[in-house]
């Protein structure tokens, strides 16, 4: 059954075209991944599906009584004074009102006056039964269990239930929004990067939830493994047009290359045919001076040329602009990092018990663990940015460290990208502009204060810092969080070619599988353990 139809839908912002003449169908029970470059209009399209944004032109039709759940980035201010459990359980006005109505009816039934009147009591019992049926149909009797299940999966155990929503971090508020939507179970679930603040366990749970969801799901995500495991169709939004692929991300990736190659071959054939016909047309033009029949042939040939040009496929963009990341550095000593008896706690909360670890030159190590387990703290403590409670951490000889901060607090917010890179490494203004352009910064971005840049732009600026410092030991805290898939793939290629040492915190399983050769895990008991191999090997072994 058709849930949503877009017919010739276009969207402009201030005269800037986001997309033009989109035709799109969303059917019942589909699992759709929406992909494309950052800034290509994916979030705008999702908001239009949710009726939050209206199209500039075109028509969006929705099935009657369709319920839609859209993951917003910010918590509703009306939820700020409620507890986490109350906010998550408030999935519909009906489920808020019905328990009050049922409670009032129960009080009435306990009234001796009504109990002594058979007619009134019978009428009240009938109304009570109908209210119970409505409450059951709305999922009221299973609501508490559903809330507990979803909150637990998203990392909110019982200790979180009474926490006031307004005191949570931005990421935690987004998870509360996600919980509210998942508990509601709407017909159409629209998720804009729901996995951004999820740890590895929660991502696995979300994959399984989406795969078994009884309704339809449209999801924007940069997690390629999630898109492989959870979706069955990919919509690619690129250059203002949308293309459909009947498979998961891996299928889309291969099929997209095949289509581009096929388009290139057809484009070449058509251009060759146009050139051939143009030669024929010029010959007929010349011969028409001596015989009028060639004038007719020239005219027919020109019409063929115009018809081919009108119906010709566009020239495919085989290589798109991508960031250029060149991580090059001098060799360090063999022993890059030596940790002995390192431990850290905040009061009675032990993040990690004392452990030993040695990282050698050329190793690529991934740090994993649940949210709140202390991964960032561990990275900063080993780097010396935070004091250790126990033990020591020593950087090896000839090691130059490069730190990529998850919260991007290492960037000077008041500076501009142009001033920032020239401060790191002496260069002329044209050289600095050319360097930043290779990271896809526009001329306006280059002179914009860093605090006003997007998360993706700040991430690219941190990559610029790593490149300019010639670091041979990279300590990366969630480096893929704000990058689109194309940029992550460039980063992966650069890290694989990098001859130095890498220590990275990441929830991106695809990234970890491709990059790291060892996993350091902060376990639930606070023990830090080392596992050889990539993430998949660690996860299966664990």
Listed in sequence order, the residues at least 6 apart from 429 whose beta carbon sits closer than 8 Å to its beta carbon are: 418, 422
3-state secondary structure of 11: strand
Q: Of 79, 97, 21, which is closest to residue 55 (Cα–Cα)?
A: 21
Place of tokens 């991430």: 459
Q: What is the tens place of the pLDDT at every residue in 277-322?
A: 989 889 888 888 777 788 888 888 889 988 888 877 777 776 677 8
Structural contact between residues 366 and 520, judged by C-beta atoms closer than 8 angstroms: yes
Reading the block at residue 343, the tokens are 């431990």
Per-domain residue ranges for the chain?
93-137, 258-311, 335-541
Q: How high is the pLDDT of residue 299? A: 87
Q: What is the C-alpha separation between 351 and 527, in angstroms, rounded?
A: 9
Half-sphere exposure of 33 (CA within 13 A, CB side): 29
* Burial group, residue 340, by CB count within 10 angstroms (0-12, 13-18, 19+): middle
Cα–Cα–Cα angle for 425, 426, 429, rounded to 5 degrees? 110
Q: How high is the pLDDT of residue 197? A: 78
Q: What is the C-alpha separation between 390 and 343, in angstroms, rounded?
A: 5
Q: How high is the pLDDT of residue 138? A: 62
Q: How high is the pLDDT of residue 476? A: 95
3-state secondary structure of 365: strand
Q: How high is the pLDDT of residue 170? A: 73
Size of the chain, expressed as the number of residues it contains: 542
CA 296 to chain CA centroid, Å, is 59
Q: What is the C-alpha separation between 99 and 91, in angstroms, rounded?
A: 13
Q: What is the DSSP string of 33-78?
A: EEE--TTSSHHHHHHHHTTSS--SEEEEEE-TT--EEE--SS--GG
In words, the CATH class of domain 335-541 is: alpha beta
Residue ranges in the chain modelled with pLDDT below 50: none
- From residue 479, give the alpha-carbon distance in Å to each of 12, 71, 109, 448: 32, 24, 62, 22
Listed in sequence order, the residues at least 6 apart from 300 whose beta carbon sits closer than 8 Å to its beta carbon are: none
Q: What is the C-alpha separation between 521 and 468, in angstroms, rounded?
A: 31
Cα–Cα–Cα angle for 341, 342, 346, rounded to 5 degrees? 130
Contacts 24+ apart (CB under 8 A), 170-177: 170/74, 171/196, 171/197, 172/197, 173/74, 173/75, 174/71, 174/73, 174/74, 174/75, 176/75, 176/79, 176/84, 176/87, 176/88, 177/71, 177/72, 177/73, 177/75
Q: How high is the pLDDT of residue 371? A: 81
Reading the block at residue 275, the tokens are 């050139």
Instruction: Enter the pTM of the model.
Output: 0.78
Cα–Cα–Cα angle for 423, 429, 434, rounded to 5 degrees? 100
Q: How high is the pLDDT of residue 75? A: 66
Torsions phi, psi for 170 (to 5 deg): -60, -45
Q: How high is the pLDDT of residue 73? A: 64
Q: What is the C-alpha separation between 222 and 82, in angstroms, rounded?
A: 32
3-state secondary structure of 14: coil
Reading the block at residue 145, the tokens are 């269990």
Q: What is the C-alpha separation between 388 and 420, in angstroms, rounded?
A: 31
Reading the block at residue 7, the tokens are 């017919």
Half-sphere exposure of 260 (CA within 13 A, CB side): 11
């Amino acid at each position: 059954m058709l849930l949503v139809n877009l017919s010739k839908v276009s969207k402009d912002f201030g005269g800037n075209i986001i997309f033009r003449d989109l035709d799109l169908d969303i059917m019942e029970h589909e699992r759709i991944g929406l992909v494309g470059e950052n800034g290509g209009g994916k979030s705008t399209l999702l908001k239009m599906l949710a009726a939050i944004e209206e199209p500039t032109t075109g028509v969006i039709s929705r099935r009657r009584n369709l319920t839609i759940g859209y993951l917003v980035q910010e918590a509703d201010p009306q939820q700020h004074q409620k507890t986490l459990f109350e906010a998550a359980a408030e999935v519909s006005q009906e489920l808020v009102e019905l328990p009050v109505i049922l409670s009032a009816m129960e009080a009435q039934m306990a009234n001796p006056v009504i109990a002594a009147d058979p007619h009134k009591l019978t009428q009240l019992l009938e109304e009570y039964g109908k209210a119970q049926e409505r409450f059951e149909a709305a999922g009221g009797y299973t609501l508490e269990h559903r809330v507990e299940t979803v909150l637990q999966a998203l990392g909110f155990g019982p200790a979180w239930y009474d926490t006031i929503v307004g005191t949570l971090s931005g990421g935690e508020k987004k998870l509360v929004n996600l919980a509210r939507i998942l508990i509601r179970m709407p017909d159409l679930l629209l998720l804009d990067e729901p996995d951004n603040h999820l740890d590895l366990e929660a991502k696995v749970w979300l994959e399984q939830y989406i795969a078994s969801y009884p309704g339809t799901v449209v999801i924007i995500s940069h997690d390629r493994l999630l898109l492989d495991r959870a979706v069955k169709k990919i919509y690619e939004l690129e250059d203002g047009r949308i293309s459909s692929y009947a498979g998961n991300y891996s299928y889309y990736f291969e099929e997209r290359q095949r289509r581009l190659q096929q388009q290139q071959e057809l484009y070449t054939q058509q251009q060759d045919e146009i050139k051939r016909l143009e030669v024929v047309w010029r010959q007929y033009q010349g011969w028409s001076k001596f015989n009028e029949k060639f004038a007719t042939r020239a005219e027919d040939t020109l019409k063929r040329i115009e018809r081919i040009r009108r119906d010709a496929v566009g020239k495919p963009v085989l290589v798109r602009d991508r960031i250029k990341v060149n991580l090059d550095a001098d060799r360090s000593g063999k022993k890059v990092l030596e940790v002995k008896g390192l431990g850290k706690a905040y009061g009675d909360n032990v993040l990690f018990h004392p452990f030993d670890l040695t990282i050698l030159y050329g190793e690529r190590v991934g740090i994993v663990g649940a949210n709140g387990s202390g991964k960032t703290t561990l990275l900063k403590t080993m780097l010396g940015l935070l004091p250790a409670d126990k033990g020591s951490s020593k950087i090896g000889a000839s090691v130059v460290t490069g730190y990529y901060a998850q919260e991007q607090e290492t960037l000077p917010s008041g500076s501009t990208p142009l001033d920032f890179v020239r401060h790191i490494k002496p260069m002329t203004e044209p050289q600095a502009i050319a360097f930043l352009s290779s990271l896809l910064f526009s001329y306006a971005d280059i002179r914009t204060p860093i605090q006003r840049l997007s998360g993706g732009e700040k991430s690219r600026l941190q990559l610029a810092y790593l490149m300019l410092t010639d670091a041979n030991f990279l300590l990366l805290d969630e480096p893929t969080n704000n990058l689109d898939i194309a940029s992550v793939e460039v980063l992966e290629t650069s890290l694989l070619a990098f001859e130095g040492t890498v220590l990275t915190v990441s929830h991106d399983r695809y990234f970890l599988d491709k990059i790291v050769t060892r996993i350091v895990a902060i376990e639930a008991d606070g023990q830090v353990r080392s596992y050889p191999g990539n993430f998949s090997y660690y996860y299966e072994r664990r």
